[in-house]
């Protein structure tokens, strides 16, 4: 083989290997659904418990968590409270969930909760600012309190006295703990989804831009 053709083949080979290493790995769903016939008795029970509690099939993070059915069941039970029963209104709760999803650039979590948040009353412009990691204009007073508290917690892993005092005044100590619980739970869910590389649903929700 002539030298020029040899060099060309080497360049093409390196380019192909680089493309294979760079692209598919990110798109691959590492922990897809387990076929029903392959579920262990413990996994079958976890699925049955999920169906009874949520009146739905496991999706998203719970498909990945099913590898450890005890983790899945306990996470689902915690989520039952933090998603539906806290002292925060649905609008406030979904606002906080969007902030957690943005912090972890979790596309599945964002795609699922963006339309729920908007339907619950979060303004699209406010959600867009969260996606772009800007402090939103046009927030309600309580949204502003939640934003400053959650932003500080997620960015610095701590909360100063001013943000904490405003949260207690607006939501009480129990509301503070519920908010921390939502941030922590959806951070865990984001970590599961990022580890599993669970693909986001194609539901028309805007994607999160990469953080700079």
Shared domain check, 132 and 60? no
Same domain? For 65 and 117 the reply is no
192 and 102 in one domain? yes
C-alpha 80/C-alpha 51 separation (Å) is 12
What CATH number does the domain containing 159 carry? 1.20.1290.10
Give the C-alpha separation, 55 to 139, whole Å: 34
Which tokens in the block code for residue 96? 């906080």
pLDDT at 17 over 70: no
The answer to whether 170 and 145 are in contact (CB under 8 A) is yes
Query: Hey, what are 70's tokens?
Result: 């005890």
**Tokens at 27, concatenated:** 């798109």
DSSP state, residue 40: -
Count: domains in the chain: 2
* This prediction's pTM: 0.85
Do 103 and 211 meet the contact criterion of CB atoms below 8 Å apart?
A: no
* Residue 212: pLDDT band with limits 50, 70, 90: confident
Same-domain check for residues 167 and 106: yes
Q: Give domain status of residue 77, yes or no.
A: yes
pLDDT number for residue 18: 35
pLDDT at res. 120:
96
Same domain as 154, residue 74: no
Report angle CA 82, 84, 85 to the nearest 5 degrees: 75
Alpha-carbon gap, residue 146 to 65, rounded angstroms: 29
Q: So what's the pLDDT on residue 27? A: 63
When pLDDT is averaged across residues 177-202 and rounded to a whole number, the result is: 97
What residues contact 76, with CB distance under 8 A and at least 6 apart? Answer: 49, 50, 53, 54, 62
pLDDT at 76 over 60: yes
Average pLDDT of every residue of the chain: 89
- Give the residue ranges of DSSP H helices in 85-122: 90-103, 107-120
Q: Is 50 exceeded by the pLDDT of residue 10? A: no
Count of alpha carbons within 13 angstroms of residue 162, beta-carbon side: 4
pLDDT digits (tens, 9 = 90+) for 133-171: 999 999 999 999 999 999 999 999 999 999 999 999 999
Distance of CA 92 to the CA centre of its chain: 16
Considering the domain architecture, whether residues 81 and 122 belong to the same structural domain is answered as no
Instruction: Over range 19-38, report the average pLDDT.
Output: 70
**Rounded distance between C-alpha atoms, residue 161 and residue 184, angstroms:** 20
In a domain, 165, yes or no: yes
| pLDDT (0 to 100) of residue 110 | 98
Query: What distances in angstroms separate CA 52 from CA 28, 49, 55, 83, one per listed residue?
Result: 31, 5, 6, 16
Q: Which domain holds residue 122?
A: 88-196
């Amino acid at each position: 083989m002539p030298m020029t053709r040899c060099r060309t083949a080497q360049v093409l080979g390196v380019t192909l290997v680089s493309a294979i290493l760079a692209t598919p790995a990110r798109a691959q769903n590492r922990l897809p659904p387990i076929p029903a016939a392959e579920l262990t008795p413990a996994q079958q029970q976890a699925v049955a418990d999920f169906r009874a509690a949520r009146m739905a099939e496991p999706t998203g993070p719970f498909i990945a968590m099913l590898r450890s059915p005890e983790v899945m069941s306990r996470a689902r039970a915690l989520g039952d409270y933090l998603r539906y029963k806290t002292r925060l209104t649905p609008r406030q709760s979904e606002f906080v969930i969007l902030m957690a999803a943005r912090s972890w650039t979790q596309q599945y979590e964002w795609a699922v909760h963006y339309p729920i948040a908007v339907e619950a009353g979060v303004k699209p412009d406010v959600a867009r600012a969260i996606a772009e990691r800007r402090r939103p204009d046009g927030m309600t007073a309580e949204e502003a309190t939640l934003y400053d508290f959650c932003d500080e917690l997620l960015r610095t892993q701590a909360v100063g006295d001013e943000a904490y005092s405003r949260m207690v005044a607006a939501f009480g100590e129990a509301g503070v703990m519920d908010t921390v619980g939502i941030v922590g739970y959806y951070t865990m869910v984001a970590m599961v989804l990022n580890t599993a590389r669970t693909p986001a649903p194609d539901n028309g929700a805007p994607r999160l831009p990469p953080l700079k």
